[in-house]
Structure 1
Amino acid sequence: MNNKTTVTHGEKLQELKDLLYSEDNSKIITEIINKNPLDLHILAANYNWNSGFEVPKAILSNENCDFGTGLLMFYRADGYRLLESKDAFSASTSSEWKEFISKLYERILDNDFSNKSISFTPPLTKVQVFKLRKSNPSNPDVFLEKSPGDGIEIPVL
């Protein structure tokens, strides 16, 4: 007889929710090491950015982190401000945020992700894209256009 247990989709989502809302960051980071690209994307999409950068850094450090997840995190962490005005970005008093966004910006530009299976569409209107291109023609298209991969519906945890 096979005693192998099967984890249902609902159980998997509950496991991710329990992890995300754990108050023990070291536990979250330890668990993130073993997550697949989809789990990392769901965690990143549901992350509360008021909780700091430790968990997002762990997600990005996982070799399974997808390019689409990196782009999602860039926007969720307000990377739009860098695209909008490098001067305003530089004037920010949050050195931790600036370092996080700068490193993520470079990593996206360098295409430093092993997977491109999950698509992410930047949450920009056509007018915003036009204004970003007009005000700063050097803004790379990779930050303004849908990333490669399959679109997924992100569940709310």
Structure 2
Amino acid sequence: MMNNKTTVTHGEKLQELKDLLYSEDNSKIITEIINKNPLDLHILAANYNWNSGFEVPKAILSNENCDFGTGLLMFYRADGYRLLESKDAFSASTSSEWKEFISKLYERILDNDFSNKSISFTPPLTKVQVFKLRKSNPSNPDVFLEKSPGDGIEIPVL
């Protein structure tokens, strides 16, 4: 007996994510993000072009499937390091949209406001950077400086 179920290959899935990510219609991207699983969201976030604004990253973070590791990845990809490095320099930024995005994401990470912790993310920091961040601002929470819980995944380039 033949099974009529359509099987999507790994390559087809990646192509689907790539087509979505490079769509010029943000409303289409946002509509599609609603239906994505934690891994798809992580891959999209890791490949997102931050010059395209904050609308898509906000949609990823709004998805209830967004993983803690994805939130941490987005914090670093959006240059949240600057907040950890110097609160004064962060406050001096002229981009209110960026400051609002980073501030909300920072609080959400601190509050552990993610339903999943299955995808690990290691902050892209050297031992020297971690040491300097801890020395210059001892109140920097460890959650921003250490590998998050979950399984490490290899992120494909879309």
Q: Does the TM-score normalized on the shorter chain lie above 0.5? A: yes
Q: Which runs of 5+ in 1 are unaligned?
A: none
Deviations 1:83-135 (A, max 9, x none): 00000000000000000000000000000000000000000000000000000
Question: 1:89, 1:4 → 2: CA distance?
Answer: 51
Structure 2 regions of 5+ residues with no counterpart?
none
Q: Percent identity among equivalent residues?
A: 100
Q: CA deviation at 1:3?
A: 1.6
1:93 match: secondary structure: coil
Superposed CA offset, 1:50-109 (max 9, x none): 000000000000000000000000000000000000000000000000000000000000
Q: How far apart, CA to CA, are the structure 1 residues paired with 2:147 and 2:5?
A: 40
The correspondence of residues 1-80 of structure 1 with structure 2, limited to 5 A, is: 1-80=2-81
Aligned residues: 157
Q: Secondary structure at the match of 1:133?
A: helix
Shift in Å, 1:2: 2.2
TM-score between both structures, scaled by the size of structure 1: 1.00
- d(CA) in 2 for partners of 1:23, 1:3: 33
Between the aligned partners of 1:2 and 1:100, the Cα distance in structure 2 is: 46
1:156 corresponds to: 157
2:139 is aligned with 1:138: yes
Q: Shift of residue 4 of structure 1?
A: 1.2
Calculate the TM-score normalised by the size of structure 2: 0.99
Superposition map of 1:61-140 within 5 A: 61-140=62-141
